[in-house]
Amino acid sequence: MLATTLTLLATALLGGAGVSARNEQIPLLSGYTGNDGTKVPVRLHVMSRCPDARRCEAVFEEVVKTEGIDKKIDLTLGMLGKLNPEAEYGVECMHGDLECAGDAHQLCLVENLPLAQWYAVLTCMNFEHFPGAIGQLAFTRKCVEASGVDWWASGVGRCIQGRHPEHSAVANKDDPQEAVATINSKDEAWAYDPPNEGLGRRARRLLRDSVNQTISDGIKKSCTIRITSTLNTRYRDCVVDGGEWKGCNDGHEAVDFVKAINEEHENLARLNRIHIPAWWTLQ
């Protein structure tokens, strides 16, 4: 009886300690959601209609397909822009409001879908005559559905469009949709400038917060790949600018990123094993 009580007490104390240690780690990971301190934060800082963004997203497609990598990385997107309360979506984007919409759509994907799924949708969006119709609602929806994701049931539709027109949270594949824009060349893609279609409240919020976070992280170039590190330096950054890779000390091929992620993940596991909250080492 006494032994049982002691065991319970010990479990409660240890359990409690574990929880509080974890809770203390999270605030230092500002903007890195869903990470309990066991995954390596990796963020691609991009603009949805930017060719350099497409380059680093293409390299990361290989990274994401690496066996077991989803258990090691907390991969997110960070958007670049300028905060401007007067702007259509509260943000000015280098390639216009259409890009802002595309950015917001992609942030809704990241928030609502598992890594392999949101990455598949992103790859679809980047596919042909880039930047294609990125930013058009019907185009994003087509890519979402082509990836086998239900627009409304997944939460993506709600995030991007706001409440379902019929106030139905369940799948309704018959709701009216615009046609996907036909884009036959890069020139057509760059000239494509449809009227604004609006964004749901969550999408606007994600866009504004993401741009703000990128500014406070001091990141100015799309694309900047940032791996938060507990080895060597605080960040491993790698930039693609005007088609050129810059500052990538660890290399810029998919295998190089996988290697860096594996090293960081092993170190995080080591820090967690000896109960050093990894993020304290960053201060």
How far apart, in whole angstroms, are the C-alpha atoms of residue 12 and residue 18? Answer: 10
Q: Closer to ligand NAG at the Cβ: 160 or 207?
A: 207
Q: What is the CA radius of gyration of the chain?
A: 21
Q: Closer to ligand NAG at the Cβ: 31 or 194?
A: 31
Angle at 280 between CA 279 and CA 283, to 5 degrees: 100
Binding mask 213-252 for ligand NAG (x = CB under 6 A): ---x------------------------------------
- The nearest distance, CB 112 to ligand NAG, in angstroms, is 21
Measured in whole angstroms, the distance separating CA 66 from the mean position of its chain's CA atoms is: 18
How far apart, in whole angstroms, are the C-alpha atoms of residue 137 and residue 67? Answer: 32
Question: Which of 14, 53, 16 lies closest to 225 in space, CA to CA?
Answer: 53
Q: Closer to ligand NAG at the Cβ: 69 or 91?
A: 91
- The nearest distance, CB 214 to ligand NAG, in angstroms, is 11
How far apart, in whole angstroms, are the C-alpha atoms of residue 18 and residue 150? Answer: 37
- The nearest distance, CB 212 to ligand NAG, in angstroms, is 4
Q: Helices 254-273 and 51-64: crossing angle, nearest 10°?
A: 60
Q: Which residues pair with 244 in a beta bridge?
A: 241
Q: Closer to ligand NAG at the Cβ: 147 or 210?
A: 210
Q: Which of residues 199-218 bind ligand NAG (CB under 6 A)?
A: 208, 212, 216
Count of residues that interact with ligand NAG, criterion CB under 6 A: 4
Q: Closer to ligand NAG at the Cβ: 142 or 208?
A: 208
Compute CA distances 267 → 39, 130, 273, 279, whole Å. 10, 38, 10, 12
Q: Which of residues 49-108 bind ligand NAG (CB under 6 A)?
A: 83
Q: Output DSSP code: residue 228.
A: E
Q: Closer to ligand NAG at the Cβ: 49 or 204?
A: 204
- The nearest distance, CB 213 to ligand NAG, in angstroms, is 8
- The nearest distance, CB 245 to ligand NAG, in angstroms, is 30
Element at 268 (helix H, strand E): helix 254-273
- The nearest distance, CB 66 to ligand NAG, in angstroms, is 34
Q: Closer to ligand NAG at the Cβ: 158 or 204?
A: 204
Q: Sign (positive/negative) of CA torsion 82, 84, 90, 92?
A: negative
Whether the bond between 131 and the residue before it is cis, its omega within 30 degrees of 0, is yes
- The nearest distance, CB 109 to ligand NAG, in angstroms, is 21
| 7 φ/ψ angles, rounded to the nearest 5 degrees | -60, -45
- Chain position whose Cβ is nearest to ligand NAG: 212
Interface residue list for ligand NAG (CB under 6 A): 83, 208, 212, 216
